[in-house]
């Protein structure tokens, strides 16, 4: 197959969908690999490294895409790039299926598009789970950003001039990003507590040395929150939840929020009133900023101060800030996923494979995800993302 890796055009997106290591494996399997000139430079991967691995380097983006059998991308290509793809081409990446306006176009062009955010959280899918690999990086970077804006030390320090107290960190949402944030904050010496709507995460939180804070729940609410993914809860529960979070945030120096609901705006966990109750100099890093924010005052893509001096950090796409390792992990995820499609006989899209079927959002002229999906694929619209 002719596999191509375009440079990412989205502002601030420094990752690349392949590395010399994955290119070498694809070339060894008999595939031709072409990388757009400069695609890996921001991830510390120069063109010479791809050439040494056996890839070709292309200067003409549209011609490269038009000749592709398989396109490996980080984000959804622009409309003009998508239009260049030939019928039967395969597009694989994080294609934002819940907000992707190009789905009808991809279907009309008979492109087979795979959105890897839709991979189910199963043991078999772990090695291709792009959300887990990238959210792990985001959780780590969130703590480093908090340390950048926090005007004090994070660990307790005993000095000749006196003792400095350890920072208190509160992590809201105990998915992959939240767990990494807890672990990183602990390594840097903070006193950490965490909250998640799922009581079952208590054991994970405590295993990392943090304290789990919990909203009292009825049996019905416990049943609703017992799954792998966070769900929307009742209005009464949200009132109790927000009161507890406001109380804990007021005592915290650093708050990191990670809560997301698939296909919907991020749940509001911190109101303007809760922020007003926090200490001057404290920091909120909102990892849900791109989905509307867990904090009412978050501005996506910005870092600003609240009227009472709380740092509100809504910077987005934190994995791209660590582009070298983010690209390395992401490229391995994609290479593993390609193993489901590439056989000795060529490309095979097996709709009986649960991972293939879950991620395939357009195929053979049909849109398979969203409101326009055919009935047989309508259940895909309810497939949860995970963070």
Is the per-residue pLDDT at 187 higher than 70? yes
Task: Give kind and range of the element (H or E) at residue 330.
Answer: helix 323-338
Identify whether the C-beta of residue 149 lies closer than 8 Å to the C-beta of residue 311.
yes
Residues 53-69: pLDDT tens digits?
A: 999 999 999 999 999 99
Is the per-residue pLDDT at 256 higher than 60? yes
pLDDT band, very low/low/confident/very high, at 221 (cuts 50, 70, 90): low
Please check whether the two domains, 2-118+323-363 and 137-321, share a CATH topology. yes
In angstroms, the Cα distances linking 178 to 1, 4, 141, 260 are 39, 34, 11, 11
Residues 275-322: pLDDT tens digits?
A: 999 999 999 999 999 999 999 999 999 999 999 999 999 999 999 999
Contacts of 325 (CB under 8 A, 6+ apart): 137
| pTM for the full predicted model | 0.90
Is the per-residue pLDDT at 381 higher than 70? no
So what's the pLDDT on residue 229? 46
Of 171, 167, 147, nearest to 157 by C-alpha is: 167
Is the per-residue pLDDT at 216 higher than 60? yes
pLDDT band, very low/low/confident/very high, at 223 (cuts 50, 70, 90): low
SS3 337: helix
Task: Give kind and range of the element (H or E) at residue 239.
Answer: helix 235-251
Is the per-residue pLDDT at 377 higher than 70? no
Strands (E), 95-237: 112-115, 157-159, 162-164, 168-172, 191-195, 211-213
Is the per-residue pLDDT at 339 higher than 80? yes
Calpha distance 126→237 (Å, rounded): 32
So what's the pLDDT on residue 222? 62
Q: What whole-number percentage of the chain has pLDDT above 70? A: 91
In angstroms, the Cα distances linking 61 to 4, 7, 53, 131 are 10, 9, 20, 27
Looking at the DSSP bridge assignments, the partners of residue 303 are 313
SS3 45: coil
Contacts of 112 (CB under 8 A, 6+ apart): 88, 89, 90, 91, 349, 360, 362, 363, 364
Domain borders along the chain are: 2-118+323-363, 137-321
> Treating both helix axes as pointing N-terminal to C-terminal, what angle do 323-338 and 130-149 enclose, rounded to 10 degrees?
170
Calpha distance 314→308 (Å, rounded): 17
In angstroms, the Cα distances linking 212 to 197, 200, 310, 382 are 11, 11, 24, 29
- What are the φ/ψ torsions at residue 275 (nearest 5 degrees)? -65, -40
So what's the pLDDT on residue 215? 84
Active site (catalytic) residues: 121, 126, 129, 132, 229
pLDDT band, very low/low/confident/very high, at 235 (cuts 50, 70, 90): confident
Domain 2-118+323-363: CATH class, spelled out: alpha beta
Pairing of strands 70-75, 56-58: unpaired
So what's the pLDDT on residue 383? 32
So what's the pLDDT on residue 224? 60
137-321 CATH fold? Rossmann fold (3.40.50)
So what's the pLDDT on residue 147? 97
So what's the pLDDT on residue 378? 36
So what's the pLDDT on residue 374? 54
pLDDT band, very low/low/confident/very high, at 232 (cuts 50, 70, 90): low
pLDDT band, very low/low/confident/very high, at 376 (cuts 50, 70, 90): very low
Average pLDDT over residues 7-13: 96
State the average pLDDT for the chain.
92
- Give 65-68's long-range contacts (Cβ < 8 A, gap of 24+): 65/4, 65/6, 67/2, 67/4, 68/2, 68/3, 68/4, 68/34
Tokens standing for 117?
């955010």
Average pLDDT over residues 209-222: 81
Contacts of 344 (CB under 8 A, 6+ apart): none
Residues 28-39: pLDDT tens digits?
A: 999 999 999 999
CA R_g for the chain: 22
Half-sphere exposure at residue 290, Cβ-oriented, CA atoms within 13 angstroms: 11
Calpha distance 238→240 (Å, rounded): 5
């Amino acid at each position: 197959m002719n596999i191509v890796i375009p440079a990412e055009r989205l502002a601030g997106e420094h990752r690349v969908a392949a590395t010399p290591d994955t290119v070498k494996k694809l070339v060894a399997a008999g595939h031709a690999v072409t990388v757009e000139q400069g695609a890996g430079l921001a991830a510390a991967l120069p063109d010479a490294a791809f050439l040494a691995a056996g890839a070709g380097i292309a200067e003409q983006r549209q011609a490269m895409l038009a000749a592709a059998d398989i396109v490996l991308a980080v984000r959804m290509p622009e409309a003009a790039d998508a239009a260049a793809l030939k019928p039967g081409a395969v597009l694989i990446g994080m294609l934002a299926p819940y907000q992707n306006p190009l789905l009808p176009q991809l279907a009309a062009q008979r492109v087979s598009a795979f959105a890897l955010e839709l991979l189910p959280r199963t043991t078999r899918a772990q090695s291709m789970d792009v959300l887990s690999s990238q959210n792990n990086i985001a959780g780590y970077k969130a703590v480093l950003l908090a340390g950048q804006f926090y005007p004090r030390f994070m660990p307790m320090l005993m000095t000749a001039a006196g003792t400095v107290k350890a920072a208190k960190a509160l992590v809201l949402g105990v998915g992959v990003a939240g767990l990494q944030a807890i672990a990183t904050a602990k390594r840097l010496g903070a006193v950490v507590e965490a909250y998640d709507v799922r009581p079952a995460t208590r054991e994970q939180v405590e295993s990392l040395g943090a304290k789990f804070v919990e909203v009292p729940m009825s049996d019905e609410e416990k049943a609703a929150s017992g799954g792998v993914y966070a769900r929307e809860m009742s209005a009464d529960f949200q009132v109790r939840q927000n009161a507890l979070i406001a109380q804990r945030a007021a005592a915290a120096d650093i708050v990191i929020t990670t809560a997301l609901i698939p296909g919907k705006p991020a749940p509001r966990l911190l109101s303007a009133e809760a922020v007003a109750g926090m200490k001057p100099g404290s920091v909120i890093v909102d990892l849900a900023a791109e989905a509307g924010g867990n904090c009412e005052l978050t501005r996506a893509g910005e870092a600003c101060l609240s009227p009472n001096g709380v740092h509100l950090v809504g910077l987005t796409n934190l994995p791209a800030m660590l582009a070298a390792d983010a690209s390395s992990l992401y490229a391995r995820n994609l290479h593993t996923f390609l193993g489901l499609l590439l056989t000795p006989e060529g490309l095979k899209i097996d709709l009986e494979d649960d991972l293939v079927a879950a991620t395939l959002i357009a195929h053979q002229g049909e849109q398979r995800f969203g409101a326009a999906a055919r009935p047989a694929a309508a259940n895909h619209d309810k497939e949860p993302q995970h963070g």
